[in-house]
Amino acid sequence: MRLRLITLLTVCLLLCSGTLQASVTLEAFTFTNVDEEQRFKDLIEELRCLVCQNQSLIDSDAELAHDLRAEVYGMMQAGDSDAQIVDFLVARYGDFVLYSPPVKPSTWLIWFGPFVLLLVAALLLFRSLRRQQQAPQQDISDADRQRLEQIMTDSNADEDHQP
């Protein structure tokens, strides 16, 4: 019983420490006003964590994300604009660091690929439906109809004889 209680308390402490660490990483920076803090949060929210890949810098707990947040904070304190900070990070890490990469030939597949696939699917569906409408309706021959009736009769007779 005592071992279970210690295990439960340990698990609770571990879970709480993870959430405390995540909140401390963003609160470790000091800002002169609320607007500057909001600018920082907006900026790191539109930048992707290079380790997690599916989280923004504001959501990630990865060590690299912490370093990038510190880099962004330092550049903001040095007086760099948002565009300068983003340009620096893109120059260093590529367009992958952005959640919304710019429209250019290397990103056309990302931007236009889903629409092209949707258009191709719609064309294939339209073509298939037209073929079905244009295909002549074929009636089955009398011989085939008689064979079908015989099969159905035999099938029904077999079902009637089963216990």
pTM of the model: 0.55
Bridge partner residues of 48 (DSSP)? 56
Least confident of 101-110, 123-132, 150-159: 150-159
Is the pLDDT at 150 greater than 70, yes or no?
Answer: yes
Which of the two residues, 107 and 41, has the higher pLDDT score?
41
In the CATH hierarchy, which fold is given to the domain comprising 2-102? Answer: Helicase, Ruva Protein; domain 3 (1.10.8)
Q: Are 88 and 49 in contact (CB under 8 A)?
A: no
Structural domain boundaries in the chain: 2-102, 107-161
Q: What is the pLDDT of residue 24?
A: 41
Confidence of residue 5 (pLDDT cuts 50, 70, 90): low
Contacts of 45 (CB under 8 A, 6+ apart): 56, 57, 58
What's the rounded mean pLDDT across residues 83-110? 88
- Contact assessment for residue 64 and residue 55, using Cβ atoms and an 8 Å cutoff: no
Tell me which residue has tokens 């244009």: 134
The span from the CA of 25 to the CA of 70, in Å, is 9
Q: For residue 23, what pLDDT band results from cuts at 50, 70 and 90?
A: very low
The tens digit of pLDDT for each residue in 29-50 reads 888 899 999 999 999 999 988 8
Structure tokens at 8: 């439960």
In the prediction, which pLDDT does 142 show? 84
Give the residue-averaged pLDDT of 50-66: 86
Tell me if 78 sits within 8 A of 70, measured CB to CB: no
Q: Is the pLDDT of residue 100 over 60?
A: yes
73: nearest Cα among 34, 35, 30: 30
User: pLDDT above 90 covers what percent of the chain?
Assistant: 34
Q: How far apart are CA 125 and CA 119, in angstroms?
A: 10
Judged on CB neighbours under 10 Å (0-12, 13-18, 19+), 71 is middle
